[in-house]
Amino acid sequence: MALRRFIALSALFLAGCAAPQLSVPKGAIASTAGPRELLDPNARLTVFEFFSAHCPCQGAHDARMIALAEKYRASGVSLVVVDSEVGATPERDQTEATRRHYPFPIVIDAGGRVARALDAEFATYVVLVDSGGHVLFSGGFDSDHRDLNDDATPYLEHAIEDALANRPQRREEARVLGCALQLN
C-alpha cells in the first residue's frame, strides 16, 4: 500500500502542469497566495492533513495540530491542510483558517485527486512525507476520536520523531477516526 501511494504521489509531482489544482486562500497566511507546490522545498518532512469544515473530530484536533506544527517547525516539518471536499472555496477556507487560528495554509484539492492518490477517506487523516516524496506514515493523527484524552497515542508525533531521528517507523499506518470526506 505504501508503495502504491509513493507511486501515486510521484505521478502527481512528475505531472507538473497536470498536477492537481491546489490553491491557498489569499490572506489565510500573509506570506501565501495563489498556487502552492505540494511539498515545501525547504522542509525535511511535510504533513498533509485532510480537512472537513463540518467534522467535529476536525475541530477537536485543531489545537493538537497547531501545537504539533509549532513544535516541529524549527526542525523542518511543514504542515499543509488539504480541503478535498465538494463545496471547498477559497473564501470558506480562508474563513475557517482564520476562525481556527491555523498558522498553516488550507489548500484546495479540486477534484479530490490528492485525496484519492493518498487514500484519504476521512477528515483528520494525515500523511507524513519525506523530502523525496516517500510516504513514511499515514492514518490517524492520534488514537482519539471526538473526545480527547490525555493518554491518547500520538501516532503522527511518533512518526515525526522517528523520521527526524532516522529511526524505523514504529508504525506505518494507523486507524483514522474522523468524518467521511465528501469528495468531488
Give residue for cell 506505518. 172
Give per-residue pLDDT as tens, 131-170: 888 899 999 988 876 667 788 889 999 999 999 999 999 9
**Model confidence band, residue 105 (pLDDT cutoffs 50, 70, 90):** confident
pLDDT tens-digit series, residues 46-92: 999 999 999 998 988 899 999 999 999 999 999 999 999 999 999 99
State the pLDDT at residue 12: 44
Question: What are the residue ranges of helices labelled H in 45-132?
Answer: 56-72, 90-99, 113-117
Domains along the sequence of the chain with CATH: 2-174 (3.40.30.10)
Q: Please state, for a pLDDT cut of 90, what percent of the chain lies above it.
A: 52
The pLDDT of residue 54 is: 92
More confident call, 23 vs 95:
95
| Burial readout 140-176 (b: 16 or more C-beta within 10 A, e: otherwise) | bbbebbeeeeeebeebbbbbbebbeeeeeeeeebbeb
pLDDT band at 41 (very low <50, low <70, confident <90, very high): confident
pTM > 0.85: yes or no: no
Q: What would the grid cell of residue 161 be?
A: 520523531
In this structure, are residues 123 and 56 in contact, taking their beta carbons and an 8 Å threshold?
Answer: no
